Amino acid sequence: MQKRHECRQNTLLGLLPEEELNRLLPNLEEVTLTPRQSLCEPGQLMEYAYFPLDAIVSLLGMINNGSSTETAVVGNTGVVGVSLFMSDESPTSRALVQRGGQALRIKGHLLKEEFFRAGPMQQLLLRYTQALLAQVAQTAICNRHHNLDQQLCRWLLLHIGRWPNNELAMTQELIANMLGVRREGITETACKLQKAGLISYYRGHIKIIDRQGLEERVCECYAMVEETYDRLLNPRQLI
């Protein structure tokens, strides 16, 4: 009963019909994810897929010198491990835990078997993959066309939207790495948001004071990503 209740904390698992979820339950293992934990690395075989319950995971695009930029964020609306059922089990991105918490994991080959049953889980995973690709594409557009103020607002709102409270433990340097910009730019922009009364920032802790104010300040990219998730993972659109 407890594991079934936990499953409902993840949007994908929560949308499964009872019969499908009951079949999956014995293969789901609850694990604790810790900050900075790597769940997969580019080109390396991935053993498990992870359904976050209250953790936040960043998907990072990497280049040869070790630099990286966040291309998408995964929380309780998704799963880490799309490559397990979409390709050859070797991811092209690094998955790094940004906010520790609980997740349910399943062995990759079992998720792949479930996917190829061509039932409700396949439909959910395909819809989620489309939403994830939309987020990656919108992140690229935002990073190219919008100013750092708008990018930081988008980043904060996407992370807060996948976490049960309004606080994040995140240094300015880490945020700069996620957005692929200089730390000084994040410092200046965070100060502007703080002076505007939208956030408070102190020693690596960010608290959202005025979420509506952030939403009024952010570019259209945030709304487009959220609307895509809401549309594709709407229970009324599923069998």
CA distance 55 to 38: 13
pLDDT at 1: 57
Extract the tokens encoding 36: 């900075």
HSE of 14 in the Cβ direction (CA atoms, 13 Å)? 14
Higher pLDDT: 52 or 159? It is: 52
Q: Each residue of 3-16: pLDDT tens digit?
A: 777 888 999 999 99
pLDDT of residue 81 exceeding 80, the answer is: yes
pLDDT at 202: 85
CATH 1.10.10.10 fits 147-218, yes or no: yes
pLDDT of residue 110 exceeding 90, the answer is: yes
CATH superfamily of 2-141+227-237: Jelly Rolls (2.60.120.10)
What pTM was computed for the model? 0.92
Largest CA distance in the chain: 54
Mean pLDDT, rounded, of the chain = 92
pLDDT of residue 152 exceeding 90, the answer is: yes
All structural domains of the chain with their residue ranges: 2-141+227-237, 147-218
Q: How would you class 92 by CB atoms within 10 Å of its CB: exposed for 0-12, middle for 13-18, buried for 19 or more?
A: middle
What are all long-range contacts of 188-191, with beta carbons under 8 Å and residues at least 24 apart?
189/148, 189/149, 189/152, 190/152
